[in-house]
Amino acid sequence: MITLKDSEFRELTGYMKANYGINLKEKRILIEGRLSNLITEKGFTNFSDYLKFVFEDSSGDEISTLINKLTTNHTFFMREADHFEYFKDTVLPYLESNCKTKDLRIWSAGCSSGEEPYTLALIIADYFGTQKAMWNTKILATDISLRVLEAAEKGVYSGEAVNTISRYWALKYFNKIDNDNYQICDQIRGEIIYRNFNLMAEIFPFKKKFHVIFCRNVMIYFEPKTKMELINKFYDMTETGGYLFIGHSESVNKDETRYKYVMPAVYRKG
């Protein structure tokens, strides 16, 4: 395994924090473990030469690969199921009654390999049923990792992954493509708009505010100041009466946010 010198460690962690808000100061062993093989494959023998190569790559491909290696993209359908139950039983009925334009705006921020936005799309399809065509329910799904976005767009999942959802969903919305894999049907895949986006962007370039923002298990590497700055930006991009869902392992200081606490990891803009 290639080891990190102190100067290399400071350079890499400083870069990731400044550009992506990711705090890796306690992750030295993780960094060495995840990058050593990659560095060798690229033909380098130390972190300094590899980082120089990454930072000088004008295409952006190498920094994307680095980010993919250092960020954990573990997710599954119906993860933290109580959130999805609340979305189905409380949020959607509220939006159906109050959104007169029938234009729902939902953002899955840090969507990883797509399980979260697809779960939301499945719930919405079931909820509106035959009335679905009268509503615009496209979901924006963003991530900094190009690799996971490409996988999410394809909508292909293993039989093991599909076994975690209801048999009704599996039969209605998934097509078997080989012995091991299933693909989500075009109807549901067409409901998601995937975009590469860095949550550390100074300005969020969205023309309209969102009724619902899911940003779960994304801020676990963020320092408190970075996290609160992001949550305040989310607040400014949330419609009055709209909701923010974060991960159960994350928390918001109630004294530092204008959102109102609803239930564990769910907040609302009054």
Supply the pLDDT for residue 21: 83
**N- to C-terminal Cα separation, the chain:** 52
User: Dihedrals φ, ψ of 265, to 5°?
Assistant: 70, 20
Supply the pLDDT for residue 241: 98
Supply the pLDDT for residue 60: 78
Task: Give all strands (DSSP E) within the chain, no chain letters.
Answer: 106-109, 139-143, 156-158, 174-176, 181-184, 192-196, 210-215, 238-246, 260-263, 266-268
User: Residues near 24 by Cβ (< 8 Å), separated by ≥ 6?
Assistant: 12, 13, 16, 17, 30, 31, 70, 221
Supply the pLDDT for residue 74: 62
Nearest alpha carbon to residue 221 among 71, 51, 10? 71
Tens place of pLDDT for every residue, the chain, 270 residues?
899 999 999 999 999 888 888 888 888 998 999 999 999 999 999 999 999 999 998 887 888 888 878 876 567 788 888 999 999 999 999 999 999 999 999 999 999 889 999 999 999 999 999 999 999 999 999 998 888 899 999 999 999 899 889 999 999 999 999 999 999 999 999 999 999 999 999 999 999 999 999 999 888 878 888 999 999 999 999 999 999 999 988 888 888 899 999 999 999 998
Sequential DSSP letters for 198-232 = -TT-SS---SS-EEEEEE-SSGGGS-HHHHHHHHH
Supply the pLDDT for residue 70: 83
Query: CA–CA distance from 145 to each of 3, 39, 104, 219 (Å)?
Result: 25, 19, 26, 15
User: Residues near 193 by Cβ (< 8 Å), separated by ≥ 6?
Assistant: 138, 139, 140, 141
Supply the pLDDT for residue 78: 80
Domains, the chain:
6-70 (1.10.155), 81-268 (3.40.50.150)
Q: Cα 206 from chain centroid?
A: 17
Supply the pLDDT for residue 73: 58
Supply the pLDDT for residue 72: 64
Nearest alpha carbon to residue 140 among 202, 79, 213? 213
For the chain, what is the radius of gyration of the CA atoms? 20
Supply the pLDDT for residue 190: 97
